[in-house]
Structure 1
Amino acid sequence: MMTTRTPSLSELTGRQASWIAGGLVMTLATMPGQTNFIAQFNAVLRAEFGLSSGLFGGLYTLATLTSATGLIFAGALADRIAPRKLALAIMAGLAATALLMSQVQNLPLLVVALALLRFFGQGMLMHVALTAMARWFDRFRGRALSFAMFGITLGDSILPFMLTVSITAFGWRTVWIGTACTLALALMPLVFLLLRRSPEGGAVPAGGPAPAATGLEWRRARVLRDPLFWAILPGIMAMPGIGTLFIFHQANLVEAKGWDLTTFTAFFPVLAVTVAASSLAAGVLVDRLGAWRLMPVLLLPLSAACLVVAALTPVWSIPLIFLGFGLTQGVMNPVMGAVWVELYGSAHIGAVRSLATAALVAASAIGPGLAGWLLDAGIPLERQAVCYAAFCLACTAIYALLQPRLRRRTVASATG
């Protein structure tokens, strides 16, 4: 198997390190739009508005699908607007939405607020952060994506438990006000400072491809006609769809298992540490081997976690579930962040990634909605988990069969 030299991190310049740090802050700032964050308000919101699990899951699906639709059209802005300018505008919108969330009094406004949280947070801000890493780094691309995603790792490790305690102590509306203040007064100034210059030096251009852009012919319309894109898509939707539904319906899961919710959220650091470690390891492998070669292993840990949900009830099974989720999520972050550049080049990576990101957001909408509907129909999460595991294994087989085509396309993209 052909490999390439993996450059040492000591070769990173100060500008490159600052850029990666900016990516980390941006991914941390996406947390108010992430399901791990919003799920901590599940019980209080259902109580506040008198919602069943299925109805709240359906509203969440509607809000998230709306945000995914907007992302398809807005995602190409990452090819035309400088990352710092676009990121700050998105973060301002996310902070304003957090304030709106603290004031919702009816279901229509709740859906609007959830849609905006998902659009600005999980959708656009994450898209801008990872597009910037994928576009502006070459030899360090895998590790730049891995380090940037440590913002999510940091958020996942401390926020679920902190939110559970804070909601009890101060009320859920006050927590959203605090979230808006943190975004506006702490995270936005950091992004402003860290993204002043591009990794190549000089001012960041107002959009357009990075130096030595590749894949000029791979515009979004052509990607949509590519059978390989559609063959890859179902598998990458598994983690956001399946992982999200278990986190979103964690109150139902812990009740069915006889666990305490505080105990469950206390194990979130297992997820965070696993994501961090596996993401860093995968980033090195992406830089050395190429992202496409790692795709057949992506979903194996997730399928194992689903089987744990289906079969085990002791409290010690909670960290096993988070371990499986974390391994898949950690490997997927740098692999799927880099594979689109490997297959389609960097010239239009913002537009190309927006298609994939919209699919991921849509999956995170479908998962909770489908699971909630099945819960209302009397099908517990344990029984659902068996089907989710089978889906992951089927996608794994597809990725293994696609390896020759992925290799040919990557070679063609690099030379074309």
Structure 2
Amino acid sequence: MTALGQTTGTLRHFLLGNRNWLAAGALLTLLSSFGQTFFISIFAAKIQADFDLTHGSWGAMYALGTSVSAVVMLWAGGLTDHFRARTLGMVVLVMLAVACLLMALNPYAVLLPLVIFALRLTGQGMTSHIAIVAMARWFVATRGRALSIATLGFSFGEAVLPIIFVALMTLFDWRVLWGLAAAIALLGVPILARLLHEERTPQSMATENQSVGMDGRHWTRTQSLGHPLFWFMVPALLGLSAFGTAFFFQQAHYAAVNGWTHLSLVALFPIYTGVGIVAMVVSGFALDRFGTARLIPFYQLPLVAGFLCFAAADRLAIVALGLVFFAMTTGANSTLPNAFWAEFYGTRHIGSIKAMAAAVMVLGSAIGPLITGILIDWAVPLGTQYVWVAAYFAMTTAAMWFGVARARLRLTVAA
């Protein structure tokens, strides 16, 4: 049998043997879309018009709700170390549906930060966190493959939902569409229950398939905070979330100032999704072969090229090229950072450690729209801002390389 045949057979066996758990992860990552910035930003122009908000005031409300959700995630994320993904996931999906209904029914601008808080905590925060932690804990030798497959839900949501909902907004009021989102989230509850009717518990799987980190031990969240590597990773965690979020958050404004229709811009997103899926799958297999230490320091380099394309774009073809570079990083981001915490800090406390990282990313997603919104109000063009963003990602690459180069020596000790 050829090497390709052996690889295909192994992958088929892996998918069939773990189909329910992988499908549950993909379902959760897909449904997290309703709390992700790329989805909420579809309605940005409608929300600003209905509530008479400037870019800066809308960005500030979004930042406030998102920042509070980041703080709550520090506590809520640790629940994955104590409760089954099935039980916790069903509860969070119901809460996500309620959050979508709040957006559909809310008549007051002053309540928007509360609505954003609910959407961000239950969607971007907990729904995706439950899926990622489950994959990192349940799979050890095949962790990269499991993460790349389960996180396909993110890619599918990014590719399909903007086009569908932007098109539906030509037929229905935007509030009706949030009611539809609530119904879809509720539909996920019985599906998740069915997929995880024979679920692995966090405690048993952590005991049976323990994966230690640096120095051959399991690190607690407090110990992780005290280690320099975490702080070398923070700029990268913060930056991708902040400026990746900002790009999607300002998509309607970006299209308008360049003379394109919103629909023509979102029509490019399937390119982003397709490249992201390829990057996700390739990074997953590369992760299982080489480990995160060799790969993660350089995974944000394509963002430098991507944001330079966005800054210089005078036609949609250049935006498409920028999205290709952007997707190379976001695809790898679905696997590398999520496996990084388990590889360097162990799996016993992965829920609480990952929650800390998730809180940083959620905080970043609050900062990005706020900064770009204020700068737009101050007449700083998005093109200028994106040049600064490209320089920022060059800096994060240098920081990760330095931090990981020092820490990987302690992985050798563990081995």
**Is TM (by shorter chain) over 0.5?**
yes
In the other structure, the counterpart of 2:87 is: 85
In the other structure, the counterpart of 2:210 is: 213
Mapped to 2, the partners of 1:221 and 1:401 lie a distance apart of 22
Amino acid at match of 1:112: L
Amino acid at match of 2:120: R
SS of the residue aligned with 1:247? Answer: helix
In the other structure, the counterpart of 2:52 is: 50
**More moved, 60-69 vs 11-20:** 11-20
Taking a change above 3 Å as real, the CA distance of residues 374 and 210 of structure 1, as seen in their structure-2 partners, is: farther
**More moved, 234-243 vs 68-77:** 234-243
Query: In the TM superposition, what are the counterparts of 1:92-171 in structure 2 within 5 Å?
Result: 92-171=94-173
What's the CA shift string for 1:112-153, capped at 9, x where partnerless?
111100000000111110000000101110010011110011
In the other structure, the counterpart of 2:330 is: 329
In the other structure, the counterpart of 1:65 is: 67
Contact preservation (8 Å) 2:78, 2:355: yes
Taking a change above 3 Å as real, the CA distance of residues 382 and 210 of structure 1, as seen in their structure-2 partners, is: farther
Matched, 1:204 2:183: no
Query: In the TM superposition, what are the counterparts of 1:230-379 in structure 2 within 5 Å?
Result: 230-379=231-380
Aligned pair count reads 405
**More moved, 64-73 vs 210-219:** 210-219
Taking a change above 3 Å as real, the CA distance of residues 371 and 13 of structure 1, as seen in their structure-2 partners, is: closer
SS of the residue aligned with 1:169? Answer: coil
Contact preservation (8 Å) 1:210, 1:346: no
Amino acid at match of 2:19: A
Taking a change above 3 Å as real, the CA distance of residues 263 and 132 of structure 1, as seen in their structure-2 partners, is: same
Q: CA deviation at 1:11?
A: 3.9
Contact preservation (8 Å) 2:300, 2:329: yes
Contact preservation (8 Å) 1:79, 1:207: no
**More moved, 49-58 vs 391-400:** 391-400
Contact preservation (8 Å) 1:134, 1:145: yes
SS of the residue aligned with 1:138? Answer: coil
Mapped to 2, the partners of 1:124 and 1:194 lie a distance apart of 19
After TM superposition, the score normalised by the length of structure 2 is: 0.94
- Provide structure 2 residue ranges, at least 5 long, that are not aligned to the other structure: 1-5
Contact preservation (8 Å) 2:81, 2:352: yes
Contact preservation (8 Å) 2:31, 2:123: yes
Amino acid at match of 1:278: A
Mapped to 1, the partners of 2:316 and 2:399 lie a distance apart of 34
Q: CA deviation at 1:399?
A: 2.1
Taking a change above 3 Å as real, the CA distance of residues 263 and 139 of structure 1, as seen in their structure-2 partners, is: same
SS of the residue aligned with 2:260? Answer: coil
Mapped to 1, the partners of 2:350 and 2:392 lie a distance apart of 28
RMSD: 1.8
**More moved, 22-31 vs 288-297:** 288-297
Amino acid at match of 1:241: A
Mapped to 2, the partners of 1:303 and 1:207 lie a distance apart of 42
Contact preservation (8 Å) 1:236, 1:360: yes
Contact preservation (8 Å) 1:28, 1:152: yes
Amino acid at match of 1:232: M
SS of the residue aligned with 1:398? Answer: helix
Contact preservation (8 Å) 1:304, 1:324: yes
What's the CA shift string for 1:325-363, capped at 9, x where partnerless?
211100111001100001000000000000001101110
SS of the residue aligned with 2:140? Answer: coil
Q: CA deviation at 1:300?
A: 1.3
After TM superposition, the score normalised by the length of structure 1 is: 0.94
Mapped to 1, the partners of 2:133 and 2:148 lie a distance apart of 13
What's the CA shift string for 1:215-274, capped at 9, x where partnerless?
464111111111111111111222211111011011221122111111001111011111
